[in-house]
Amino acid sequence: MRISLDRTEVDIRPGRAARVTVELHNTGDSADMVSLSIDVPGSAWVMTSQPVTRVSRAETVFVIAEVQVGHDVAAGVHDAVLWARSASDPGRSVATRLRLTVDPVPGVRLVLSPSVLDTRSESSTTGTVTNTGNTPLSVSLGTRDPAGQVRCEISPSTLTLPVGGSAEVALAVSVPRRTIGSTTRRLIGVDVSATSPTGEITTEEYVTVRHRPVLARGAARWLFSALGLGAALIAAFALWSSGGAEPSKTPAPGFIVGGVESAPTGSVNGVVVATSDRAGVPRVTIEGLRDAGDGTLTSYGRVASDAEGAFTFDDLPGGTYRLAFSAIGFDDIVGDPFVVVPGTDLELDDAFVEGQPGSVTMALTVEDPAVLGPGGLVTVDAVSVTDRDDVTSLSVEPDSEGRVTVRLDDLTSPSVQRVTVSAAGHTARVVDVVVGAGADVTAPDLIVTAEAGAITGRVIDTAAVPLGGVTVRATSGPVVFTTTTDAVTGTYEMAGLRAARTYVVQFSAEGYALQTLAVDVGAGETVNEVNGTLIGSSGSLAGTVTTSDGTPIGSARVTVRGVDTVTTTATLTSVAASGGPGSYRVSGLPVPGSYTVTVTADGFRPRTEAVTFVVASADTVLDVELVPSTASLTGTVSLDGAAVGGAVVRLDDGSETRSVVSASSPAGAYTFTGLVPGSYTLSASVEGGGEFIRLVRVSAGDALDVDLSLETGAPG
pLDDT, one tens digit per residue, over 133-163 is 889 999 999 998 877 778 899 999 999 999 8
Pairing of strands 678-685, 648-652: antiparallel
Q: Which domains does the chain have, with CATH numbers?
A: 2-102 (2.60.40.10), 108-211 (2.60.40.2310), 265-353 (2.60.40.10), 358-448 (2.60.40.1120), 451-534 (2.60.40.10), 538-625 (2.60.40.1120), 631-710 (2.60.40.10)
* Exposure string for 51-90, b = 16+ CB within 10 A, e = fewer: bbbbbeeeeeeebebbbbbebebbbeebebebbbbbbbbe
| Predicted pLDDT at 612 | 81
Helices (H), 377-510: none
Average predicted confidence (pLDDT) for the chain? 85
% of the chain residues with pLDDT over 70: 90
More confident residue, 461 or 499: 461
CB atoms within 10 A of CB 575: 10
Kindly tell me if the per-residue pLDDT of 49 is higher than 80.
no
The stretch 631-647 carries a mean pLDDT of 91
Q: What is the pLDDT of residues 517-532, one digit of tens each?
A: 999 988 888 999 999 9
Kindly tell me if the per-residue pLDDT of 281 is higher than 50.
yes
| Predicted pLDDT at 659 | 93
More confident residue, 347 or 89: 347
Kindly tell me if the per-residue pLDDT of 190 is higher than 80.
yes
Task: Return d(Cα 210, Cα 183) in angstroms, integer.
Answer: 6
The stretch 388-415 carries a mean pLDDT of 92
Task: Return d(Cα 715, Cα 142) in angstroms, integer.
Answer: 79
Task: Return d(Cα 126, Cα 113) in angstroms, integer.
Answer: 6
Q: Which of 253-262, 371-380, 464-473, 587-596 has the highest mean pLDDT?
A: 464-473
> Nearest to residue 335, comparing CAs of 347, 346, 348?
348
Q: Are 517 and 530 in contact (CB under 8 A)?
A: yes
The stretch 500-516 carries a mean pLDDT of 85
Strand partners, 395: 379
- Angle (CA) 414-417-418 rounded to 5° is 160
| Predicted pLDDT at 262 | 45
Kindly tell me if the per-residue pLDDT of 537 is higher than 70.
no
Determine which of 86-95, 184-193, 233-242, 263-272 has the lowest per-residue pLDDT on average: 233-242
The stretch 357-384 carries a mean pLDDT of 89
**Mind spelling out the 3-state secondary structure of 485-541?**
CCCCCCEEEEEEEEECEEEEEEEECCCECCEEEEEEECCCCEECCCCEEECECEEEE
Task: Return d(Cα 53, Cα 41) in angstroms, integer.
Answer: 26
The stretch 430-434 carries a mean pLDDT of 91
Q: Residue 659: what residue type?
A: S
Q: What is the pLDDT of residues 336-346, one digit of tens each?
A: 999 888 888 89
Across 438-500, where does the E strand assignment appear? 440-442, 446-448, 450-461, 471-476, 479-484, 491-499
Task: Return d(Cα 598, Cα 557) in angstroms, integer.
Answer: 8
If pLDDT is split at 50, 70 and 90, which confidence band does 185 have?
confident
Q: What is the pLDDT of residues 104-137, one digit of tens each?
A: 999 999 999 888 888 888 899 999 999 988 899 9
Q: What is the pLDDT of residues 159-175, one digit of tens each?
A: 999 988 899 999 999 98
Task: Return d(Cα 681, Cα 323) in angstroms, integer.
Answer: 90
Q: What is the pLDDT of residues 587-624, one digit of tens each?
A: 878 777 789 999 999 888 899 999 887 544 556 789 99
Q: What is the pLDDT of residues 242-279, one digit of tens each?
A: 554 444 334 433 333 333 344 478 889 999 999 998 99
pTM of the model: 0.42
Q: Are 651 and 680 in contact (CB under 8 A)?
A: yes
| Predicted pLDDT at 232 | 55
Task: Return d(Cα 532, Cα 468) in angstroms, integer.
Answer: 12
| Predicted pLDDT at 238 | 58
If pLDDT is split at 50, 70 and 90, which confidence band does 676 have?
confident
The stretch 73-83 carries a mean pLDDT of 90
If pLDDT is split at 50, 70 and 90, which confidence band does 427 have?
confident
Task: Return d(Cα 526, Cα 503) in angstroms, integer.
Answer: 13
Task: Return d(Cα 231, Cα 252) in angstroms, integer.
Answer: 15
The stretch 15-21 carries a mean pLDDT of 87
| Predicted pLDDT at 250 | 40
| Predicted pLDDT at 178 | 76
